[in-house]
Amino acid sequence: MLIVSHDRAFLDALCTKIWEIQDGAITEYTGNYSDYMEQKKVARQQHQAAYEKYEKKKKQLEDAQKLKEKKAERATKAPKKISSSEARITGVKPYFAKKQKKLQKTAKAIETRLEKLEKVEKRKETAPLKMDVVNEENFKDRIILRIENVEGKIGDRLLWKKTGFYVRGGDKLAIVGPNGSGKTTFLRKLVQQDPGLLFSPSVEWGYFSQHVTILDVEKTIIDNVQSSSKQDETLIRTGLARMHFFGEDVHKPVHVLSGGERVKVALAKLFLSDCNTLILDEPTNFLDTAAVEALESLLKDYAGSVIFASHDRRFIEEVANRIVVIRNQEMEVFEGDWHHYQNMPAPSQGTDQDRRLLLETKISDVLSRLSIEPSPELEHEFQKLLKEKRELDG
């Protein structure tokens, strides 16, 4: 079976070999996608070690060559302890000339060794991207969005019952659930600022959707990004390079780009814009694996908030620190990343003991957060959990 896919979890589950096509060559790796990534990591480490060894040896030889050349320059000069009359004695001058020639020969031999030294190129390293987030001092770790008694419907069809929770500045919140459960509907409600969705005045949000274009196709890549960003050109170029737009590529007009490239530009434009909250609807669609991993890196380092819907399990694992699950017409908030969520028993499927353990864990978490930053939302959540536990205990 030969598979072409950008779904890393799928590749992990099925593949026993990975073929990488790069620079016109195919390299085979044994194992699944995670094994492939680990082998690539080891190869990078080995390359870095080889580069450091090469640089050390090169410096040793260069220093030795300079030392021999310097000694050769001084070789024809008589030492200070020898008088001028002694220096004129027959045989002294030829002696120093011979010594100089020997030193020059040694220096030349070192130069030859330098030329024959197998060169190891330095790997291109990703430049760090540190940017200021708008209103960060009034934003970080504070409640920036309250969801109060919000119901999800399409026509007469109920997607989720009335629900309430909050989002903090800096949260990376994943919205997950089956197709048709209401993930996109929830994000659209945020963008439309429907009743019951209360944003803090400090929030400046940006929205990405496959169906909403934020690009001027007649403008260049960098012009599109600069039009909504206060960041300097160096930082913008660094951000675009992280999405694999290097050098003169940034001056390409958007209309010549492929669909996947346009998605990358739109995401870069949003990330580098004057926003502090990103609302992303299936951002990894149409992106290749390298672009998805670049986006993961950007979002993990991003100081603002990210609220996103995605089917990409690995992307959710890498980015999210809170999970909102829509299922059975309920919207449930889980405090923790995807791994913790996956390891928790589902209340509707587990035993009473499993459900009790889950509720006690949630109650403990809410109490901890109440002691740090009390809020009506947390108090409401605490009372709701206590009620569920009382009902379970009978």
Convert the pLDDT of each residue in 323-375 to its tens digit. 999 999 999 998 888 888 887 765 555 567 767 777 777 787 777 777 777 77
Please, which pLDDT band fits residue 280 given cuts at 50, 70 and 90?
very high
31 plus 64 within the same structural domain: yes
pLDDT grade for 137, boundaries at 50, 70 and 90: confident
Specify the DSSP class assigned to residue 244: T
Specify if 113 maps to a domain: yes
Q: How many other C-beta atoms lie within 10 A of the C-beta of residue 257?
A: 18
Same domain, 366 and 277: no
Same domain, 50 and 146: no
Give me the CATH number covering residue 313.
Answer: 3.40.50.300
Q: Are residues 334 and 305 in the same domain?
A: yes
Q: Which two tokens stand for residue 158?
A: 């109920």
Establish if 248 belongs to a structural domain: yes
Alpha carbon 115 to chain centroid, angstroms: 39
218 and 251 assigned to the same domain: yes
In a domain? residue 259: yes
Same domain, 232 and 299: yes
Instruction: Tell me the per-residue pLDDT of 68-114, one tens digit each, with 9 for 90 and over.
Output: 778 777 766 655 555 555 555 555 556 656 777 777 788 788 888 88
Q: Name the residue range of residue 356's domain.
A: 352-393
Kindly state whether residues 89 and 110 are assigned to the same domain.
yes
Quick one: pLDDT at residue 351? 62
Secondary structure (DSSP) of 66-129: HHHHHHHHHTTSPPTTS-HHHHTSTTHHHHHHHHHHHHHHHHHHHHHHHHHSPP-PPPPPPPP-
pTM of the predicted model as reported, rounded to 2 decimal places:
0.72
pLDDT digit string, tens, across residues 191-209: 999 999 999 999 999 999 9
Per-residue pLDDT at 383: 85
Query: What's the pLDDT score for residue 236?
Result: 93
Residues 331 and 356 in one domain: no
Q: Specify the DSSP element, H or E, that contains 57.
A: helix 33-74
The helix/strand count (H/E) of the chain reads as 13, 11
Taking the C-alpha atoms of residue 76 and residue 99, their distance in angstroms, rounded to an integer, is 8
Instruction: Quickly state the pLDDT bin for 33 (edges 50, 70, 90).
Output: very high
Question: pLDDT tens digits for 141-163?
Answer: 888 999 999 999 999 999 999 99
Under the banding of pLDDT at 50, 70 and 90, the label for residue 299 is: very high
* Number of domains forming the structure of the chain: 3
- Single residue among 85, 102, 125 that ends a domain in this structure: 125
Mean pLDDT of the chain: 85
DSSP secondary structure letters along 315-383: HHHHH-SEEEEEETTEEEEEES-HHHHHHSPPTTTS-HHHHHHHHHHHHHHHHHHHHHS--HHHHHHHH
Is the CB of residue 311 less than 8 Å from the CB of residue 162? no
Assess if residue 386 is contained within a domain.
yes
CA dihedral 342, 347, 351, 356 (to 10 degrees): 100
- The sheet with strand 197-199 has its strands ordered as 157-168, 143-154, 197-199
Is the per-residue pLDDT at 9 higher than 90? no
